[in-house]
Structure 1
């Protein structure tokens, strides 16, 4: 006796029983409800972030602008005299020291970071790449106070012996500590940028008779230039905003650094050393908020520049 063969009926022509219809509609409703909830959640997160950011900018900016109610714009930005006890709030020394420290930090960190990134991405064997990348990722997460403690206990005594005087706190010590801090960040981002260069660029250069050094210097590094610049700016942002490590090694003296071994102070160190000693409704407090507002503006400008480089890179890809 032969087994009857069931005829295939397309899904759209199948007649669903009421329970099957209810299950299908119920599942579709759950999917729509879940999608709607995630959409609301994402919009709420974006609005909350914008609200917090706006409140931070408003509060710091509003308090900072009160500085010019009591002193002039020129007295704050052009004067080197910072003696709050005598009602002098010149921040020029801190601004110049901050820019000098950042420039010195990048001068020390960028050549080593980019060179190490080229080594990892282009030259090192696989086992060395697999060892170096996790180590650099680990160094990125080391707390800044650890670097500051090493600078205080190891670097400064060494600089004092090197200089032959009782001088060690200053821009050089701070720059060396910051260079060690930003080196892993610049190196890893540069490594990713170099590794993202298409292989066909290298093959075309080799086909034209270029040496390995010429390929790296004239093809790979220029092609990864935007990513390397973004890495440098990320390192610059961290160097400008770093506080604890700088406080521990720079000397915290309100004066313009006349040498690499002169104790000095930058915007971040001056804020953290004095903010707890001032009255809220005072020009001294307003001036410190103005320094914080300057740091905020610098950070925003650098981040926007990174976004611009990323967008231009995607357009050219």
Structure 2
């Protein structure tokens, strides 16, 4: 009787988990189909080319149902790439250093205080990051650094860096903790110092997890909208330097989608931007799986 009850509970739990898993797969599939249906209209309905959309900087879609506008999104694409890459350059060294500190330098302090404090950052709403950037970071760039109005690629990148910092840190810390203890003990037995063990043994061994954390952080940065829109300036121009304002894909979508006629050229062009972000997210997922499988083969 007891065994039958345990078997039924286990079967029920496995069934629920399986249904939830398939539901998420189906949901993702239908989201992708919907974005393809809406976003492809720029090319199928209004006759624009993929080359124009990706590489032209002339953005002036017509807010009607006959077309005739221009849908070059190069400025927004470049804005997304520049802010995300700069954010990654800022956040990655701090994330790796923090992960090393909480796992190798002071593991007790890291486990009890530092890691929970880092993970709290994940739960903070993006609007809070944007508001802090708007009220503190933008005035500092404007008044202390004397750089225009303060709205800039740098401001957006710093905000993004703070937002992706906990995600990268957590993944890198898990990767370092999974390094076999025998490797570390063997390094010490050969006379290596702690820092020599870290940069010669631990980091190279955990490189798969480190790269995974970096790619996941980059994916988070590409998809962030509200916080970036509040500090980037939303100027439709290529930035001259990191202190120049610009715009990006997510800022354009959030600011313009509500005012565009549903099904019009302008609206469909914004849906094409959303489709591009979806494709980029899928690309990042494939890269993470490729890195993970490569790491498993060489393990």
Common fold by TM > 0.5: yes
Tell me which of 75, 85, 91 is aligned to 2:52.
75
- For 1:276, what is the secondary structure of its paired residue? helix
Give the secondary structure class of the aligned counterpart of 1:164.
coil
Preserved contact between residue 130 and residue 227 of structure 2 (Cα < 8 Å)? yes
264-273 vs 47-56, greater mean Cα deviation: 47-56
Greater mean alpha carbon deviation, residues 299-308 or residues 168-177: 299-308
* Whole-angstrom CA distance in 2 between matches of 1:230 and 1:31: 38
Separation of aligned partners in 2, 1:44 and 1:131: 37
Q: Does the alignment pair 1:45 with 2:45?
A: no
**2:102 touches 2:109 (CA, 8 Å); kept in 1?**
no
- 8 A Cα contact 2:94 2:165, kept in partner: yes
Matched residue, 1:3:
none
- 1:316 deviates by 4.2
- SS where residue 157 of structure 1 aligns? helix
Against the structure 1 CA distance between its residues 104 and 125, is the aligned structure 2 distance closer, same or farther, given a 3 Å change threshold?
Answer: same
Q: What TM-score does the superposition give when structure 1 sets the normalisation length?
A: 0.86
| Conserved 8 A contact 1:167-1:262 | no
Deviations 1:135-177 (A, max 9, x none): 0111121111111111000000000013324421011000001
CA contact (8 A) 1:167 1:261 kept: no
> 2:246 aligns to what SS in structure 1?
coil
Q: 1:223 matched to which residue of 2?
A: 205
**Aligned equivalents of 1:73 and 1:297: distance in 2?**
14
Q: Does 1:138 align with 2:113?
A: no
- Structure 1, residues 188-209: CA drift from partner, whole Å, max 9, x if none? 2111111211111112112222
Cα gap change, 1:28 to 1:294, in 2 (>3 Å): same
Count of equivalent residues: 292
Contact 2:83 2:157 in 1 (8 A): yes
Secondary structure of 1:262's partner? coil
Q: Which residue in 2 is equivalent to 1:258?
A: 240
Deviation at 1:304, TM superposition (A): 2.1
In 1: Cα distance, 2:15 partner to 2:101 partner: 46
CA RMSD in angstroms, aligned pairs only: 2.0
Q: Deviations over 1:102-129 (max 9, x none)?
A: 1100111101111111122111252354
